[in-house]
Amino acid sequence: MDRVKIIEVKQSVFANNDQRADQLRQELKQQGIFLLNLMSAPGSGKTTTLKRTVELLRDELKIGVMEADIDSDVDAKAMAEAGVKAIQLHTGGMCHLDADMTRQGLDVLAKEAKVELAILENVGNLVCPAEFDTGAVKNAAILSVPEGDDKPLKYPLMFQVCDVVLINKIDVAPYFDFDLEKCREYIRMRNPNARVIPICAKTGEGVELWAAWLREQVSAWRS
Amino acid sequence: MDRVKIIEVKQSVFANNDQRADQLRQELKQQGIFLLNLMSAPGSGKTTTLKRTVELLRDELKIGVMEADIDSDVDAKAMAEAGVKAIQLHTGGMCHLDADMTRQGLDVLAKEAKVELAILENVGNLVCPAEFDTGAVKNAAILSVPEGDDKPLKYPLMFQVCDVVLINKIDVAPYFDFDLEKCREYIRMRNPNARVIPICAKTGEGVELWAAWLREQVSAWRS
């Protein structure tokens, strides 16, 4: 196994993040690269979900993963072990990535491999990452059953900016007071257009649906 | 039930947060008020743990709770229903509280009731709240079993600044790959002095131990 590359991304000096994110998106469009920004609270299952996603899509798409983390390289190692090109972005304590930090990662990823689907696993945090457009084509959030069905009420912006919400760990639903219909309703209140897909990344349940959604988005973007 | 008071805390204009936090702590010492800062990721069980804590300590201590949240007042309502003086601090999108925002909350709380134990439920976030001294006498973090035993590796600062870590939701441990001993070891790596207490806030298991720890800290501070 190759050693995982660790990039210390520098905090952006640019104030106009929205503009720079739009510019990055335009460049990605020209290059035929689809960038997905995956966000969630700590421990919701981003890495496990990504491993499943890569298993389902790697035969049809060239995938590269950027694992953002404050300090560790636990996730990039896990992804590299799953056989996908993965780099680690160290934010040096920063709680989110902006468009320019994402670009720094994409530049390194591009040198390592030709990529059609780039996935950014953002810092585990339901607050700050939602405030910064990374330049991604689509935003996905994971909410896991043990966190509770009321999270869309408490972290409104995250659910507003998402194109799709994966409800993960549905295998343990019997052990928690989690009302899926109520949760769907709260998400709809924040964002009537967000697709909601219940999954269990551990067993693979529902992940086919999510992969199909992603496949469709990538195909539309690259056509 | 009284209506819950909602305070829109203003972002601090002061750069010297550490100094202002120390000053707040000194004032709290003079007033005989113990301030606990409770932090965790979203959905780890801060509010449920607080409800249990209040049940155990309210006959011996005058308790006031400040629920920090970006936008909702779900938690302050829950605390008020549990029969404790509770106010809601709206951070207006901010991902943490600093000493001055905490002071704004304490000032309002002091007008509502005489308090001996003030508890700040910080914004659900394992990153940013760890970076700002709120002026609290002690910091507590909750890590819940479904989040995984590796979180001290990935969110180092949170575990460095904590005096006590509650491992919550131990009732569901059989359904997750969570190694309590490994987790204790990771916490020790970050902070050899942190006390670790496994609890289940839902059933009350272990909460007596936590309440005993807190009782002791309050008593030492106020003597």
* Residue B170 within a domain: no
Q: Which residues of A are less than 8 Å from B156 in CB distance?
A: 70-72
Q: Which residues of B are less than 8 Å from A74 in CB distance?
A: 150, 153-154
Q: Which residues of B are less than 8 Å from A131 in CB distance?
A: 93
For chain A, say whether B192 makes contact (Cβ under 8 Å): no
* Residue A47 within a domain: yes
pLDDT band at A3 (very low <50, low <70, confident <90, very high): low
- Option in A43, A157, A169 nearest B151 (CB): A43
Number of domains in chain B: 1
* Residue A45 within a domain: yes
Residue partners of B76: CB distance under 8 A and separation at least 6: B4, B6, B65, B67, B69, B86, B87, B88
The alpha-carbon gap from A70 to the nearest alpha carbon of chain B, in Å, equals 7
Residue-wise pLDDT for A126-155, tens only, equals 999 999 999 999 999 999 999 999 999 999
d(CA A121, CA A80): 14
* Residue A32 within a domain: yes
Question: Cβ separation of A127 and B169 shorter than 8 Å?
Answer: no
Q: Tell me which H or E stretch contains B165.
A: strand B164-168
Question: Cβ separation of B128 and A95 shorter than 8 Å?
Answer: yes
Question: Of all residues in chain A, what percent carry a pLDDT higher than 70?
Answer: 97
Tell me how crowded residue A134 is: count the other CB atoms within 10 A of its CB. Answer: 28
The alpha-carbon gap from A127 to the nearest alpha carbon of chain B, in Å, equals 6
Residue B1 has pLDDT above 50, yes or no: no
* Residue A194 within a domain: no
- Option in A71, A125, A147 nearest B125 (CB): A125
pLDDT of residue B9: 77
Residue A6 has pLDDT above 80, yes or no: no
For chain B, say whether A2 makes contact (Cβ under 8 Å): no
ipTM of the complex: 0.87
Question: Cβ separation of B146 and A150 shorter than 8 Å?
Answer: no
Contact between residue A69 and residue A123 where contact means Cβ atoms under 8 Å apart: yes
For chain B, say whether A95 makes contact (Cβ under 8 Å): yes
Question: Cβ separation of B125 and A126 shorter than 8 Å?
Answer: yes
For chain A, say whether B60 makes contact (Cβ under 8 Å): no
Residue A1 has pLDDT above 50, yes or no: no
* Residue B126 within a domain: yes
Range of the domain at B104: 5-10+22-139+203-222
Mean pLDDT value of segment A157-184: 97
Q: Output the average pLDDT for chain B.
A: 93
Contact between residue B150 and residue B174 where contact means Cβ atoms under 8 Å apart: no
Question: Cβ separation of B70 and A151 shorter than 8 Å?
Answer: no
The alpha-carbon gap from B129 to the nearest alpha carbon of chain A, in Å, equals 10
**Radius of gyration over alpha carbons of chain B, in Å?**
16
* Residue A162 within a domain: no
Question: Of all residues in chain A, what percent carry a pLDDT higher than 90?
Answer: 81
Mean pLDDT value of segment B174-183: 96
Question: Cβ separation of B175 and A176 shorter than 8 Å?
Answer: no
* Inter-chain CB pairs, A–B, below 8 Å: 105
* Per-position DSSP letters for A51-89, written without gaps between them: HHHHHHHTTTS-EEEEEEESS--HHHHHHHHTTSEEEEE
Residue-wise pLDDT for A7-40, tens only, equals 787 766 667 999 999 999 999 999 999 999 999 9
The alpha-carbon gap from B101 to the nearest alpha carbon of chain A, in Å, equals 18
Quick one: which of A71, A68, A118 has its CA closest to A96? A68
Residue B64 has pLDDT above 90, yes or no: yes
d(CA B6, CA B123): 15
Helix (H, G, I), strand (E, B) or coil at A32: coil
* Residue B162 within a domain: no
Q: What pTM was estimated for this model as a whole?
A: 0.92
Instruction: Output the domain CATH number for residue A46.
Output: 3.40.50.300
Contact between residue B133 and residue B31 where contact means Cβ atoms under 8 Å apart: no
